Chains A and B, each alone.
Chain A
Amino acid sequence: MENNIKMHTRDLDFFYGKFQAIDHISLDFLEKRVTALIGPSGCGKSTYLRCLNRMNDLISGTRVKGNALLDDMDIYDPAIDVVNLRRRVGMVFQKPNPFPKSIFENIAYGLKVNGVRDKAKITQVVEKSLKQAAIWDEVKDRLNESALGLSGGQQQRLCIARALAVDPEVLLMDEPASALDPIATQKIEALITELSSKLTIIIVTHNMQQAARVSDRTAFFYMGKLIEVNDTDTLFTKPELKQTEDYITGRFG
């Protein structure tokens, strides 16, 4: 079955001042699939990811050219509602960053800022989100305790639950397991696979085994350019370009 294209960019350029960090990237993201972005440090993969929910808007002196679309909405159209875009395109960050609030309040936050007042509804979504993020059993008896008392791996799953609470269609993950130990990493990876049946996931990772394990498609970035993109199995077993092969076999990067 061929999936719809959920997001795509066409000739996307991104500049920090005069420095061009992203160079003409055209890439499609299939609905309910996991796409991994790999490449050496500084290749622009995180910057590209942050273009997809306009998180780079916060950095002054930056500029975007080209197109990025969610379904058929141009996300850089000045007329669109950025706040709503970010609700539809959620994000999980490299370091777990739960708010210094209770576990419950961390999840409820996204609902409250989006205008949900109904307490029963909030309680229900909090439980559902924590279950989806496979952390419910570990925290259900301590929902009113500070989220900062959780372990790093639990915090990151809490952050995933927090992102899921506002029902995003796309989830951007910026090296979500790089600050975690192997067991916590395994749990996050299992969760990504689980979640991909419900939403579109785009994950930046430094870890090639991780990309191979969790993703359906993989895109290799180098120096701000997209070098090669293919089904993950194909890219890792029969890369078309020598440069890709050198990177995935560990000859550089």
Chain B
Amino acid sequence: MRKRLFLQKLWFTLIKMAAWINSGALAVMVYFIVSRGWRAISWEFISQAPRESMTQGGILPCIVGTISLCLITILVALPIGVASAIYLNEYATQGKMVRLIRLGINNLAGVPSIVFGLFGLAFFCIVLNMGVSVAAGGLTLGIMTLPVIIGASEEALKTVPNTYREASLAMGATRWQTIRRIVLPMAFPGIITGSILGISRAAGETAPIMYTGAVFFTPDLPGSILDEVMALPYHIYVLATAGTNIEATRPLQYGTALVLILLILSMNLAAIIIRSKMRKKLRI
């Protein structure tokens, strides 16, 4: 009897510790970056371009660059991803074809990000002649994010009970009307949350954009989607490894990391707020 209770206590403690390690890792990381980076943050830092071989000045071009890349990623990945999920979950006859498409999606999810970068360089930059640009980088990130968005959207569509589809069809609605007016609104919070999480992941990627969209240094803000940009994650990499004076840029490096983390956390926070607002509206 004693032993059983002891074992229960032991296992619960271990399980609890495992859960706390998550939050612990995040807390340590955030502390590490905030403590080293907060001194670098100033109005100048977020409103000006780098100067003096990046040892002075700010990171405005990087912030604008990363946001532009994210916008293209959303424009590419959200419609295609949601449409694919609708096809797979709502419309397609489950069979060989669908299995093949799913196999493709799962494999796409497993491709290393540097390979996406090389593909983007070869295909978007060279074959489609986009050069190193926001468009090429955004498209590369978009393809990389597709499997995440398809997965999140499919999960969200699956949570809509079949009985709602049946009720709609039983009133003489077409399948498309049922998807458009009943299923999608109910799945929307899940789709949006999953998609934002996927895109915030993409915002922090370096490998896919280092050949396709981001450059070492450009003080100008992008004027069109065919311009090259600076980007936060790539800038961190540059400051940490390739600067002329690494010691002098170190505070800027942590400052940049802090800005990137804040950007991503605020996207995730937006996802959570949107989800809870919509859930309340739908009362589910």
Interface of B is mostly: helix
Residues of A within 8 A of B181 (CB): 109, 112-113
Q: Tell me if A87 is interfacial: C-beta within 8 Å of chain B.
A: yes
Stretch in B44-52, B168-176, B212-220, B242-250 touching the partner? B168-176
Q: Tell me if A132 is interfacial: C-beta within 8 Å of chain B.
A: no
CA distance A90 to B167 in the complex (A): 9
Q: Are A97 and B169 interface neighbours, CB within 8 A?
A: no
Residues of B within 8 A of A15 (CB): none
Residues of B within 8 A of A200 (CB): none
CA distance A162 to B186 in the complex (A): 19
CA distance A165 to B163 in the complex (A): 19
Q: Tell me if A114 is interfacial: C-beta within 8 Å of chain B.
A: yes
Q: How many interface residues does B have (CB within 8 Å)? A: 23
Residues of B within 8 A of A90 (CB): 170-171
Q: Tell me if A83 is interfacial: C-beta within 8 Å of chain B.
A: yes
Per-residue contact bits, chain B 154-178, to A (CB 8 Å; 1 contact, 0 not): 0000000111111111111110010
**Which residue of the partner chain B has the closest CB to A112?**
B181
Q: Tell me if B94 is interfacial: C-beta within 8 Å of chain A.
A: yes
Residues of A within 8 A of B166 (CB): 55, 58, 91, 93, 97
Q: Shortest Cβ distance from B89 into chain A, in angstroms?
A: 13
**Which residues of chain A from 68 to 125 have a CB within 8 Å of any chain B CB?**
83-84, 86-88, 90-91, 93, 95, 97, 99-100, 109-110, 112-114
Residues of A within 8 A of B282 (CB): 100
Q: Tell me if B1 is interfacial: C-beta within 8 Å of chain A.
A: no
Q: Which has the most chain A C-beta neighbours within 10 Å: B94, B167, B174, B282?
A: B167
Q: Which residues of A contact B (CB under 8 A)?
A: 53, 55, 58, 60, 83-84, 86-88, 90-91, 93, 95, 97, 99-100, 109-110, 112-114, 146, 148-149, 159, 162-163, 165-166
